[in-house]
Each structure stands twice: as C-alpha cells, then as structure tokens.
C-alpha cells in the first residue's frame, strides 16, 4: 500500500511529459523485465498449464489493462489524493463479490470497520457544499478502475491456488504490454516520440515499474493467497493516507481538515476490519453466527 500510495505521486509527475497509456506501457515493460530476472535468479520459474492460459488472458484484461486505463486517465483529471480515495472504495464492494463467488465471510467487527472506513472515504471526496473534489469524468474513469479491480480480485484468488505470486504478476504484466501496445500506437505515438526522457522522468518510470507494478502486486498477490481477497483488499484503504502525505511534501497538495478527518476514519476502519472475532456476519441472512 505504501508503494501504491507513492505511485500516484510518481504518475502525476510522469503525466507532465507522457500520456497515461504510454506511461503504463513503459512501466509494464520495466516490470516484466525486472520480474523475469528475479524469477531466473531465484530459479522460481513455473510452467503455465494450457488450461489456465484463458484465465491469465482474461485476468490481464481487467488488470493491468482496464484497471490502469481507468486509474491513469482518472488520475490525469483528478488530484493524487482524490484518485487514491476512490480506488480505496474497492474493499467496500469486494466482500459482497467474495461472499457470492468465493464464499468468504467477514466478522461483524470487520463489517463495522468497512463502514467506518468508507465514511472516511466520503469525507475526503465530498466537499462541505456537497460538490465533488474532482471532475465527474475523472471520477467515472476511477470508478471504472474499481469495477475492474473487483472482477480481477476474483480471478486472482483462483490463480493463487495454482501459481506463485511472482509468476502470476510477471505473466499478467507481460500480457498487459500487448494489450496496451495498440492504444499507444493508435493514440499516443506522436506524444511519445516527442517526449524528452530526462533523469526525473526515467527515475519515476523506474520507480513505477519496479515498486508499483512489480513488488506491490507481488506482495498483494501473496497476501491474497494467505488471507483471502476480501480481507486483503481492506488494506487498500491505506493508499490515500500514504498518497495524501507524500502529495503534501512532494507536490505541494493542500491537506485540509476534512482530509485529515477522512484519513483518521480510514485508519480506524482498517484496524477494525482486521480484528479477528468468533462472531461471523452472514451477508445473505444478515445474521450473526459463532
């Protein structure tokens, strides 16, 4: 979550030179090369079974392609903190999907944590005059990324039953390169060819490729395999906390009282959502069970 929180700051700086699709395209190339070298050095390469190729193709379509298209174009139209806050709504919807499709359950205190955390998100995204803190188009893109993440989460859980996190992320990012290539060639070739690759741009792209697109996803995938997609996604509520902090120091973004209040609620919600209790809340019957 620390790496993903920083990624909004790195991406915002890259967008001053490159367009969104080109940015993701380059970071995926960096990520694929980096993970391939890691797999070779650690001798952890795995054979992908033919019956799982389709699942990899579909999961890669939702993430990195659909997810990063929504996130990147949304971030281009909104501040890093607001973008991170919208992405942080993923845990609010994921438990319902996980319950329906994977039969994962959350404790009653966990559900309370989700509600508190979501209230923190609302405080950060809605101003006191009830207007939004970003353009509607940007918000729409970002919620498209949220929807993609929900579908991806279910597919990811199934993939973790058969492959190691390093393998999953490497294959998905490698496939993602070919999904993004036509977009770059059709719409962003001119801007990419005219871009000046300064040290600052290259360093931010390297940080995005290694930390945000590689290590963060590997850590996330590993955690999904251990505690499930619903509980893992709850931690994404911490992303806007990191993003707000670094946006203030690195980009000069103003941190208002409402943002501080929202961040506080998010942290409290995450803590509550990770409490392990004997009582279980069944979303279908809306009853508590031991």
176 vs 62: CA distance, rounded Å: 9
- Average pLDDT score, the chain: 86
What average pLDDT score do residues 197-206 get?
A: 96
Query: Tell me: the pLDDT tens digits for 232-288?
Result: 877 887 888 888 888 888 888 887 888 788 878 877 877 776 665 444 545 555 554
pTM: 0.82
* Top-confidence residue, 132 or 222: 222
Question: For residue 59, is pLDDT > 90?
Answer: yes
User: Looking up tokens 């973008």, which residue turns up?
Assistant: 83
Strand order in the sheet with 106-107: 106-107, 280-282, 287-289
Residue 282: strand pairing partners: 287
**Assigned token pair, 79:** 């501040």
Out of 25-29, 147-151, 257-261, 286-290, which region has the weakest mean confidence (pLDDT)? Answer: 286-290
Total number of domains constituting the chain? 1
Averaged over 74-81, what is the pLDDT? 88
Q: What's the domain range around 237?
A: 2-289
Determine the average pLDDT of the residues in 8-33. Answer: 95
């Amino acid at each position: 979550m620390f790496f993903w929180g920083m990624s909004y700051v790195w991406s915002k700086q890259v967008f001053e030179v490159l367009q969104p699709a080109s940015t993701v395209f380059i970071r995926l190339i960096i990520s694929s090369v980096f993970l391939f070298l890691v797999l070779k050095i650690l001798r952890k390469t795995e054979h992908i079974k033919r019956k799982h190729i389709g699942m990899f193709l579909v999961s890669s379509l939702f993430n990195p392609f659909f997810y990063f298209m929504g996130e990147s174009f949304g971030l281009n139209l909104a501040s890093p903190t607001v973008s991170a806050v919208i992405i942080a709504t993923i845990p609010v919807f994921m438990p319902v999907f996980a319950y329906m499709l994977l039969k994962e359950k959350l404790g009653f205190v966990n559900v309370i944590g989700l509600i508190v955390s979501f209230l923190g998100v609302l405080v950060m995204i809605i101003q006191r005059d009830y207007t939004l803190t970003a353009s509607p188009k940007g918000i729409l893109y970002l919620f498209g990324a949220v929807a993609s993440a929900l579908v991806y989460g279910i597919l990811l859980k199934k993939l973790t039953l058969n492959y190691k996190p390093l393998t999953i992320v490497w294959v998905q990012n490698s496939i993602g390169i070919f999904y993004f290539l036509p977009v770059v060639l059709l719409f962003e070739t001119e801007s990419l060819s005219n871009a000046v690759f300064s040290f600052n741009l290259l360093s931010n792209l390297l940080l995005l490729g290694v930390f945000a697109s590689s290590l963060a996803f590997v850590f996330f995938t590993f955690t999904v395999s251990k505690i499930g997609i619903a509980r893992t996604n709850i931690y994404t509520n911490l992303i806007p906390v990191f993003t707000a902090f670094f946006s203030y120091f690195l980009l000069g973004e103003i941190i208002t009282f409402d943002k501080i209040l929202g961040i506080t609620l998010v942290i409290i919600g995450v803590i509550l959502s990770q409490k392990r209790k004997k009582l279980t809340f069944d979303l279908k019957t809306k009853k508590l069970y031991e």
